[in-house]
Structure 1
Amino acid sequence: MTLKEQSILVAGGGSTFTPGIIMMLLDNLDKFPIRQIKFYDNDEARQKQIADACEILLKEKAPQITFLATCDPETAFTDIDFVMAHIRVGKYAMREKDEKIPLKYGVIGQETCGPGGIAYGMRSIGGVLQLVDYMEQYSPEAWMLNYSNPAAIVAEATRKLRPTSRIINICDMPVGIEHRMAEVLGMKRKDMSVRYYGLNHFGWWTDIRDQEGRDLMPKIKEHVAQHGYVTPQELKGSEGEEVEASWMHTYEKAREVYELDPTTLPNTYLKYYLYSQDEAAAANPDYTRANEVMDHREKMVFSECNRVTALGTAKGVTLEADDHASYIVDLARAIAYNTKERMLLIVPNNGALVNFDPTAMVEIPCIVGSNGPEPLVQGAIPRYQKGLMEQQVAVEKLVVEAWEEGSYQKLWQALTVSKIVPNARVAKQILDDLVAVNQAYWPELS
């Protein structure tokens, strides 16, 4: 059977993750053929550095694919089958403020969790909704595969404010952890079948089996109880991809998070909620994760793209496909060709967790086909997880209400409810500082 060739728009063409998407698309042309790729970004200069290198790469690897980079919405969104969206409103300069302002008050600042995630969410909502509106105007039959952070807040915003839109919100965090689990087991991630539930960056694996149905959880638990998600190769000091110090700390900390409920395996980001004071104490207020990314990933990707452009060839290119690039290609294939892929997605609960808010955006396994995701029922969840999740869902819903209503009061409430923030007074101090630096990005609050 001849597969239909697809037209792809990467929204956030200037992202350092964009080359990885292109590499993965090229690696999968036999399974996911493409006739056209477009880039869209509102920062022309930044996008040009990425686009010029990717254009060379495409000409050498797949000259049959038409390529275009643009800052014009109509040009970008016309004649599109899939929008792959990963935007960062305010770029890393604003992420740095998200992280450093809370630390002034002894509260951890983080991209998607607590005050930092709330600030970023208030910036992201409008940007993602604008992309949805462009898609519906110019290519109403297209699907948006959105992995713009903070995914939980963005997912709640699209559920509430664009309820009929063809958008699927995804996250590569569980995929990355599952790759590590697979290394522990000495097998491939796609050979594992998982049961998982939670919110984005806030979940638990309850069952992992191989293709023959054998239980893989005991061996993974034994490893995590001793080493967290640090892989056997990393423990041996084997050479491989360099892991940044902050991530290595995150993988190690999973050991303590696991101790709270040894019947499950936790998402690493639970450390920010369960050990927030530890994380704040360990953070360097002058050099946060944003600085680490700007000094490492950003420099590496832009330097390599500029090198490729200067040479006029992609031979010897060091750019690689990322975990999340693989995941998003699998999702697009499932929709385009009705492959019934099983994937973890962020979807309205609607009874999948039978004792949880039906309107909550939960992260659970789904079967994906041409009609989108079909959530798989995970049953009732225990009181421990339910209590934590209800608190966090309240934060996410309050943030979206604050954005929609322009409500300072609701945003203060959201910060106060967050498990990461110690009390309402500190919440207000942080909020006032965040309001001051986000006036160009947030709705006016009253």
Structure 2
Amino acid sequence: MKQGQRLVVVGGGSTYTIGMIMSLIEEKAHFPLRSITFYDTDGERQERVAKATEIIFREHYPELELFEYTTDKEYAFRDKDFFFVQIRTGGLEMREKDEQIPLRHGVVGQETCGPGGMSYGMRSIGDMIDLVADIRQGSPGGWILNYTNPAAIVAEALKRAYPNDKKILNICDMPAAIMVSYAKILGKEIWDLVPEYFGLNHFGWFTGIYDKEGNELTEDIKRAILEDGFIPEDSEIANDPSWIKTFKQVEKMLTDFPEYLPNTYLQYYLYPSDMAEKEDVENTRARQVINGRQQRVFSMCDQIIADDSLENVHLEVDIHGCYMIRVAASLAYNNGDIFIVMVKNDGIIANLPDDAMVEVPAMLTNRGPKPFAVGHIPRFYKGMIEGQLAYEQLVVDAYFENSYEKALQALTLNRTVVDAPVARQILDDLINENENYWPALKQRETVAR
């Protein structure tokens, strides 16, 4: 019988938490739990989710020994086995500014890509570094599964701050959300598929999709997308108009670049002008989430609490939670399952720098990820990745060095911006809005001639 784990959900007040809880219930045979602790700095927001969660557990997880929630990090982090980290420094209010500022300059406004991603990343780095230090005080051997965005920038920063910590794993559920749609096309379950993939987080390509018997299914997927279109199937995004449009773009990307199956986020880098023109600065994705998912989730929590039961709500399992839990189970029980995760390159992609944090398939064991070699990648993808990698590393340089120049270089390199004067205007606006979050960026003094 598997030993139950002691889990902390860091960011317990997230709108994704209820979906995670339903996934924990769905997956309890794979990842049994002794205790679950919610931790959040926003006690009021967390309490709303937690009180609903108590009722969910009472009805669907009565064997759970302990559920608790707290704003006391020292208590929350003591003697735990796993930490699922989903924080958002600045909340959705700052996300909205991240998206609006670039759009006002005619540039893509998105929370993880382009200037918005840099803004969010610069806010996330400090909190994530402090959070890992706090966790290690209480649980030196606990697994930290981080899916705080922008994951690529956060992973780069944590690699530098904690180069010897082998129990931090940065992961993203977007490849899994895409694979759910592949599975639907093929009439299979996501867990039946074995992916081949390379890239950076939110910047990668599937080179092959296989079943467990080794049959390649890639061309079947491509053909279906080009003939019938591509739609999201994961319950969390299936009916979201923004995500439906995003998945629709895969057809265009595959028509233009048919060699590999693209990550959906590549739309922002391949068609930045089109993407910026389609957005409404007064109704960005953040505003849609505030008025949509956030209201829906908290209203549902209120309904559960008022009824003291689940009789008037419909709860669904989503891939966001299931993916994280299957990853944790493979680490906990040495399952050796294969997942797409972020790891230090160290020759995995032969013609990219060894210090890059790449996103590739890996076998997950109780000793950590064992990534599969990719080898050399073609010139187009290498060039795309190297530019994005330089941007990500310069953002982290800017944070640690308090460097305005490095931040400007980063934005100028980013494919969503390119134009240096526009990059400077956006950067100055972001600095003003983030004065309570970013380190003070200093400009190099110029020498008069």
TM-score where L is the length of structure 2: 0.95
Task: Give the CA deviation at 1:64.
Answer: 3.6
SS of alignment partner, residue 207 of structure 1: strand
Give the share of equivalent positions with the same residue, in percent. 45
Task: Give the CA deviation at 1:324.
Answer: 1.3
Mean Cα displacement is larger for which, 429-438 or 254-263? 254-263
The 1:241/1:422 distance shift into structure 2, 3 A limit, reads closer
Cα deviation digits, residues 186-220 of structure 1 (max 9, x gap): 11111111100000011111111112222211111
Native 8 Å contact 2:340 2:362 kept in 1: yes
| Structure 1 counterpart of 2:401 | 405
Native 8 Å contact 1:95 1:290 kept in 2: yes
| Structure 1 counterpart of 2:222 | 221
Which residue identity lines up with residue 180 of structure 1 in the other structure?
Answer: S
Distance in 1, matches of 2:236 and 2:334, equals 36
SS of alignment partner, residue 298 of structure 1: helix
| Structure 1 counterpart of 2:130 | 130
Q: Structure 1 residue aligned with 2:248, among 241, 247, 252?
A: 252
| Structure 2 counterpart of 1:365 | 361
Task: Give the CA deviation at 1:228.
Answer: 4.5
Native 8 Å contact 1:197 1:363 kept in 2: yes
| Structure 2 counterpart of 1:181 | 182
Cα deviation digits, residues 272-317 of structure 1 (max 9, x gap): 0010000011111110101111111111111001111112223443
| Structure 1 counterpart of 2:88 | 88
- Name stretches of at least 5 consecutive residues in structure 2 with no aligned partner: 443-449
| Structure 1 counterpart of 2:47 | 48
Which residue identity lines up with residue 323 of structure 1 in the other structure?
Answer: I
Task: Within 5 Å, give how 1:1-400 maps onto structure 2.
Answer: 2-65=1-64, 66-165=66-165, 166-230=167-231, 243-400=239-396
Which residue identity lines up with residue 212 of structure 1 in the other structure?
Answer: E
The 1:241/1:353 distance shift into structure 2, 3 A limit, reads closer
Distance in 2, matches of 1:228 and 1:347, equals 32
Q: Give the superposed CA RMSD.
A: 1.6
Q: Structure 2 residue aligned with 1:442, among 420, 430, 438?
A: 438
Distance in 1, matches of 2:313 and 2:131, equals 31
Task: Give the CA deviation at 1:240.
Answer: 11
Distance in 2, matches of 1:439 and 1:97, equals 13
Task: Give the CA deviation at 1:411.
Answer: 0.7
Cα deviation digits, residues 369-426 of structure 1 (max 9, x gap): 1011011101110000000000000011001111111111111111111011031100
SS of alignment partner, residue 84 of structure 1: strand
The 1:227/1:254 distance shift into structure 2, 3 A limit, reads farther
Mean Cα displacement is larger for which, 29-38 or 351-360? 29-38
The 1:284/1:368 distance shift into structure 2, 3 A limit, reads same
Native 8 Å contact 1:49 1:302 kept in 2: yes
Distance in 2, matches of 1:62 and 1:441, equals 39
The 1:252/1:395 distance shift into structure 2, 3 A limit, reads same
Distance in 1, matches of 2:305 and 2:226, equals 47
Cα deviation digits, residues 196-254 of structure 1 (max 9, x gap): 000001111111111222221111111222455226x99xxxx9975222111111111
The 1:228/1:401 distance shift into structure 2, 3 A limit, reads farther
SS of alignment partner, residue 89 of structure 1: coil
SS of alignment partner, residue 269 of structure 1: helix
Cα deviation digits, residues 134-181 of structure 1 (max 9, x gap): 111100010100111000000111111111222100000010010111
Mean Cα displacement is larger for which, 302-311 or 112-121? 302-311
SS of alignment partner, residue 366 of structure 1: strand
Native 8 Å contact 2:345 2:354 kept in 1: yes
Distance in 2, matches of 1:387 and 1:312, equals 56
TM-score where L is the length of structure 1: 0.96
Native 8 Å contact 1:301 1:319 kept in 2: no
Distance in 2, matches of 1:82 and 1:15, equals 18
Task: Give the CA deviation at 1:261.
Answer: 2.5
Distance in 1, matches of 2:238 and 2:387, equals 36
- Name stretches of at least 5 consecutive residues in structure 1 with no aligned partner: none
Which residue identity lines up with residue 172 of structure 2 in the other structure?
Answer: C
Native 8 Å contact 1:201 1:270 kept in 2: yes
Cα deviation digits, residues 79-127 of structure 1 (max 9, x gap): 2100000011111100100001001110011011000000000011112
SS of alignment partner, residue 264 of structure 2: coil
| Structure 2 counterpart of 1:432 | 428
Distance in 1, matches of 2:129 and 2:91, equals 17
Native 8 Å contact 1:147 1:171 kept in 2: yes
Native 8 Å contact 2:341 2:362 kept in 1: yes
Cα deviation digits, residues 322-346 of structure 1 (max 9, x gap): 2110001101101110000100001
